[in-house]
Amino acid sequence: MKIKPLTENERWILSFYRTSEISGALFFGRLAKSLPPGPIQTDLTKHFADESQHSWFWTRCLQTLNSEPIKLETAYQDQYVAATGMPANIMEVLGITLIFEKRVIGQYALHRQAKELNPEIAKTLDLIMEDEKWHIEWVTKALKCMENEYGADHIDQTLKRFYAADKEVYKKTVTEHEERIQGILKYRKD
């Protein structure tokens, strides 16, 4: 079977996903290493492993499609600290993680709907989205368990603040890279 070559924009998008997954893996790895043993450290370790695996899935997808990743200097989540400030505690780390993971699965689901999507890209998206569901699940449960310590209202307000920041980061990213995603993805600016 002949493989249809990726356009430069497709290659860029897959490389962008790959870079974001690498950044996530590095972040969660450092965080898991710094925490004491317990349920959160255990789940962060799995999360770290998943993110690392996802970056490999995108690398393999690109190579299967006869392409190599583009080296990108920044990842999507790199903009979060500027938009939200440095997280002050583990609850804030998990709060921003929840909002980010919801953005990721939404973006991947949106990409999955693209017309004439290459089957290798579809397979990779499907594979990763299964893990993303678990990421949202475990972080949601962990935040629920933190309600006694931080208060449900405080957690809710934190999530709202991070959601607003995420909307701005996403809007900026879509605007900045509009030419790359136009025609491949029908995107929302929310």
What is the DSSP annotation of 8-23? Answer: HHHHHHHHHHHHHHHH
Which tens digit of pLDDT belongs to each residue from 63-119? Answer: 999 999 999 988 888 887 788 888 899 999 999 999 999 999 999 999 999 888 999
**What are the two backbone dihedrals, phi and then psi, of residue 189, each rounded to the nearest 5 degrees?**
-95, 25
Confidence of residue 190 (pLDDT cuts 50, 70, 90): very low
pLDDT at 184: 64
**What are the two backbone dihedrals, phi and then psi, of residue 133, each rounded to the nearest 5 degrees?**
-60, -45
Q: Using CA atoms, how far apart are residues 169 and 3, in angstroms rounded to an integer?
A: 34
Confidence of residue 189 (pLDDT cuts 50, 70, 90): very low
Q: Where are the domains of the chain?
A: 8-181
CATH of region 8-181, choose from 1.10.620.20, 1.10.3720.10, 3.30.530.20, 1.10.3210.10: 1.10.620.20
Closest CA to 112 of 8, 13, 9, 1: 13
The stretch 49-66 carries a mean pLDDT of: 97
Residue-averaged pLDDT of the chain: 91
Closest CA to 12 of 73, 64, 54: 73
